[in-house]
């Protein structure tokens, strides 16, 4: 039996059925999803977002946006800086620390990598930024008759020649990208490797426009690779697949769909 304060009464004085009360969680769930969407949008921005930018990015009305933003301000998860932009607040530090403490990226990403192998039969991997370097965090060999060899976990070389490396560089803040390329020469790994900075920047622009990266025998002769970003990671982690050239283009759409499915934040 509902407490009197929780019961609803219609205009005739009748108490609404208890079943009606079970419908309440839906708005609350929707509100939670919207709140998390705002938090992710702010976290992924370079210098924070203004209210109107949040509205456009998340697709919310002005009223809903201001209501949720002011609620979040009250928790300290976001704050308003001197430029009137919403940025992460001190309370967000606990989330970042908790992530590193409880859910190390390789543990989470390894499951996604295995799901790609199961769906495609091809060698798959996950890469990400670690202390300013682009590192292979999890790898799994394919079970097709002819498969690519695995890049060892922890490998950090030739990012400009790897689909995952190019994607991470393309999505990175310009200052981060410049700093990385200043430390790493564009050395050829194969005769297909892009070693010209201008051509590489053109490639980055194409990657940002299409939302994924490929390499055409740029890292290994006879192999082509494909990489997509992991949702909700702000371009810090990507998933990839390595495929012998003879079947890469034939099954490209299947591979891309499998990667996007694995990259979903709730997969």
Domains 4-94 and 103-263 share a fold: no
pLDDT digit string (tens) for 17-61? Answer: 443 334 445 566 788 999 999 998 998 888 999 999 999 999 999
* Residue 224, C-beta contacts closer than 8 angstroms, at least 6 positions apart: 214, 215, 216, 217, 242, 243, 244, 245, 248, 249
The CATH class that applies to domain 103-263 reads alpha beta
Residues 107-162: tens digit of each pLDDT: 789 999 999 999 999 999 999 998 899 999 999 999 876 666 667 888 999 999 99
Domain extent listing, the chain? 4-94, 103-263
Q: What is the pTM of this model?
A: 0.67
Residues 165-219 have pLDDT tens digits of 999 999 999 999 999 999 999 999 999 999 999 999 999 999 999 999 999 999 9
CATH topology for the 4-94 domain: Arc Repressor Mutant, subunit A (1.10.10)
């Amino acid at each position: 039996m509902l407490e009197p304060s929780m019961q609803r009464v219609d205009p005739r004085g009748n108490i609404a059925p208890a079943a009606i009360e079970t419908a309440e969680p839906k708005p609350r769930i929707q509100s939670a999803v919207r709140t998390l969407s705002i938090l992710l949008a702010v976290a992924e921005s370079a210098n924070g977002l203004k209210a109107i930018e949040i509205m456009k990015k998340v697709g919310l009305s002005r009223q809903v946006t201001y209501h949720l933003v002011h609620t979040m301000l009250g928790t300290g998860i976001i704050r308003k800086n001197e430029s009137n932009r919403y940025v992460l607040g001190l309370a967000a530090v606990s989330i970042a620390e908790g992530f590193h403490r409880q859910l190390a990226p390789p543990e989470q990403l390894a499951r996604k990598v295995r799901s790609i192998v199961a769906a495609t039969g091809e060698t798959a991997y996950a890469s990400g930024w670690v202390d300013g370097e682009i590192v292979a965090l999890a790898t799994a060999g394919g079970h097709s008759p002819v498969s690519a060899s695995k890049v060892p976990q922890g490998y950090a070389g030739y990012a400009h020649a790897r689909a995952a490396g190019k994607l991470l560089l393309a999505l990175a803040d310009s200052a981060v990208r410049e700093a990385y390329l200043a430390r790493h020469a564009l050395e050829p790994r194969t005769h297909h490797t892009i070693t010209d900075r201008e051509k590489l920047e053109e490639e980055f622009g194409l990657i940002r426009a299409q939302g994924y990266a490929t390499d055409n025998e740029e890292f290994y002769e006879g192999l082509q690779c494909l990489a997509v970003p992991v949702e909700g990671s702000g371009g810090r982690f990507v998933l990839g697949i390595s495929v012998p050239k003879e079947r890469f283009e034939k099954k490209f759409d299947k591979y891309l769909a499998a990667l996007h499915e694995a990259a979903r934040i709730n997969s």
